[in-house]
Amino acid sequence: MKLLFVSTSVGPLGTGLGGGVELTVYNIAQQMIQRGHQVQIVAPAGSTWDNLPLVQIPGNLQIIAQSQERTDPIIMPENPVLANMWDYARQVQTDYDLIVNFAYDWLPFYLTPFFNRPIAHFVSMGSLSDALDQMIVQVAKQFPGTIGFYTASQAITFSQLTPPLHYLSSGIDLGLYQFCLHPKQQLAWLGRISPEKGLEDAVAVAQITQIPLKIMGKIQDELYWQQICENYPNDIFEYLGFLSTNEMQQVLGECRALLMTPHWVEAFGNVVIESLACGVPVISYRRGGPAEIIQDGKTGFLVEPDSISELVNATQRIGEIDRHTCRADAEAQFSFEALGSRFEKWFKEILGNR
Ligand code: UDP
């Protein structure tokens, strides 16, 4: 297949601004290339991946959907990179069999009927905007089978979707994550630093348990981060920056657990499987993607959403989890090859249906 991947419009690839979907785009592209397909990625200028075929498109980044209200109208900046990427896709479409949209934006859904090549839409977050929801429902109806999600708990946040829906889960190159059996007395928190990610809950756990917390990820909301630093002035947590996968997995592996504390319905949580791959159990709120991935009492603990005291209890019981089981679970359920097979099957189905 000749595949054109159109990336997220909220940040250049490799900066962390796009969150987990960056890793997902990277991994699927690699898998498709390994399987002999031709892949071209279209992404905002400033993307730093140099080992994959990338066309860099200039323009202003899209505002993140998480910072907007559900009823807000669709907003586009002047000279929008989103529109510029899709204009490029329009011009080169006849060189490809399938276009794959990874942007959580209204425009690519709206444009779908105007293209003469099929478009697969991979939706990377739960429902956040009424206008986008409506457009996704419309595309699902008009082009059955072209909408893909990470998980069922994510898809269920969108109402009135016409089946078939595809739940594609995620997967990682396990060879890049080293298993660590003997952690230090420290906890990890990973992800974009933005209110919906609930970092303050993990900091509170560190303060109560007095176990130091290593924080890694892109600061997306500077005010939110400043607020956390003001509210928790002691040095029980340390911010290490946005690290490469290799640097990140080294620190992560040395942690007793990953704290996953989202205040929204997390669509998947790539960091959960990255953590399991290092042998690090995950403690998370019982909702969204993490609740589908973590096996309570086996690969971590699932606790009552937003309950700090339950997070603390789980942290104190973390020694009950066998780190080998965590790694084995990542190998059994989230392999790179299985990820490639699921996406390849989905793409072929879309092409076969035409
Ligand atoms: N990440 C990283 N370096 C860091 C912290 C995070 O590369 O220092 C990556 C991590 O590998 C994951 C992504 O950031 O792929 C966060 O994705 P997740 O699916 O957990 O959440 P999202 O940001 O999509 O809501």
CA-closest candidate to residue 339, choices 153, 178, 173: 173
CA 327 to ligand 1 centroid distance, Å: 19
Q: Taking CB atoms and a 6 Å cutoff, what residues make up the pocket around ligand 1?
A: 16, 19-21, 23, 190-192, 216-217, 242-243, 245, 248, 268-271, 274
Residue 104's pLDDT is: 98
Domain ranges of the chain: 2-171+335-353, 174-333
Residue 191's pLDDT is: 96
Mean pLDDT of the region 54-60: 98
Residue 235's pLDDT is: 86
Mean of the per-residue pLDDT values of the chain: 97
pLDDT digits (tens, 9 = 90+) for 152-183: 999 999 998 988 999 999 999 999 999 999 99
Report the CATH superfamily, name and number, of domain 2-171+335-353.
Glycogen Phosphorylase B; (3.40.50.2000)
pTM: 0.96
Q: Whose CA is nearest to atom 15 of ligand 1?
A: 20
Q: How confident is the model at residue 233 (pLDDT cuts 50, 70, 90)?
A: confident
Residue 272's pLDDT is: 98
Ligand 1 atom with the shortest distance to the CA of 272: 20
Residue 112's pLDDT is: 98
Residue 334's pLDDT is: 97
CA 282 to ligand 1 centroid distance, Å: 15
Residue 335's pLDDT is: 96
For the stretch 210-239, what's the b/e string if a residue is b when 16 or more beta carbons lie within 10 angstroms of its beta carbon? ebebbbbbbbbbeebbeebeeebeeebbeb
For the beta sheet containing 282-285, the strands, ordered from the edge strand earlier in sequence to the opposite edge, are 237-239, 213-216, 187-190, 257-260, 282-285, 300-303
Contact 236, 293 (CB under 8 A): no
Question: Can you state the angle between helices 270-277 and 20-34, rounded to 10 degrees?
Answer: 70
Residue 234's pLDDT is: 79
CA-closest candidate to residue 249, choices 178, 299, 185: 178
Mean pLDDT of the region 30-35: 98
Ligand 1 atom with the shortest distance to the CA of 16: 14
pLDDT cut 70: percent of the chain above it = 100
Q: How confident is the model at residue 63 (pLDDT cuts 50, 70, 90)?
A: very high
Q: Which residues 6+ apart lie within 8 Å of 309 measured at CB? A: none
Residue 83's pLDDT is: 98
Cα(258)–Cα(205) distance, rounded to whole angstroms?
12
Residue 354's pLDDT is: 73
Mean pLDDT of the region 199-203: 98
- Residue to substitute in 8, 23, 102, 266 for testing ligand 1 pocket (most ligand atoms within 8 angstroms of CB): 23
Cα(37)–Cα(322) distance, rounded to whole angstroms?
39
Higher pLDDT, 235 or 40: 40
CA 252 to ligand 1 centroid distance, Å: 12
pLDDT digits (tens, 9 = 90+) for 331-353: 999 999 999 999 999 999 999 98
Contact 277, 330 (CB under 8 A): yes
Q: How confident is the model at residue 129 (pLDDT cuts 50, 70, 90)?
A: very high
Q: Name the one residue in this structure whose structure tokens are 């478009």.
A: 119
Q: Whose CA is nearest to atom 16 of ligand 1?
A: 20
CA 154 to ligand 1 centroid distance, Å: 17
Ligand 1 atom with the shortest distance to the CA of 20: 17
pLDDT digits (tens, 9 = 90+) for 234-268: 789 999 999 999 999 999 999 999 999 999 999 99
Quick check: 28 pLDDT over 80?
yes
CA 306 to ligand 1 centroid distance, Å: 21
Domain 174-333 has CATH 3.40.50.2000: yes
Q: Whose CA is nearest to atom 11 of ligand 1?
A: 271
Quick check: 95 pLDDT over 90?
yes
Residue 202's pLDDT is: 98
- Residue to substitute in 190, 240, 265 for testing ligand 1 pocket (most ligand atoms within 8 angstroms of CB): 190
Q: Whose CA is nearest to atom 21 of ligand 1?
A: 20
Contact 9, 81 (CB under 8 A): yes
pLDDT digits (tens, 9 = 90+) for 110-119: 999 999 999 9
CA 269 to ligand 1 centroid distance, Å: 8
CA 236 to ligand 1 centroid distance, Å: 22
Q: Whose CA is nearest to atom 23 of ligand 1?
A: 19
Same fold, 2-171+335-353 and 174-333: yes
CA 114 to ligand 1 centroid distance, Å: 33
Q: How confident is the model at residue 50 (pLDDT cuts 50, 70, 90)?
A: confident
Q: How confident is the model at residue 128 (pLDDT cuts 50, 70, 90)?
A: very high
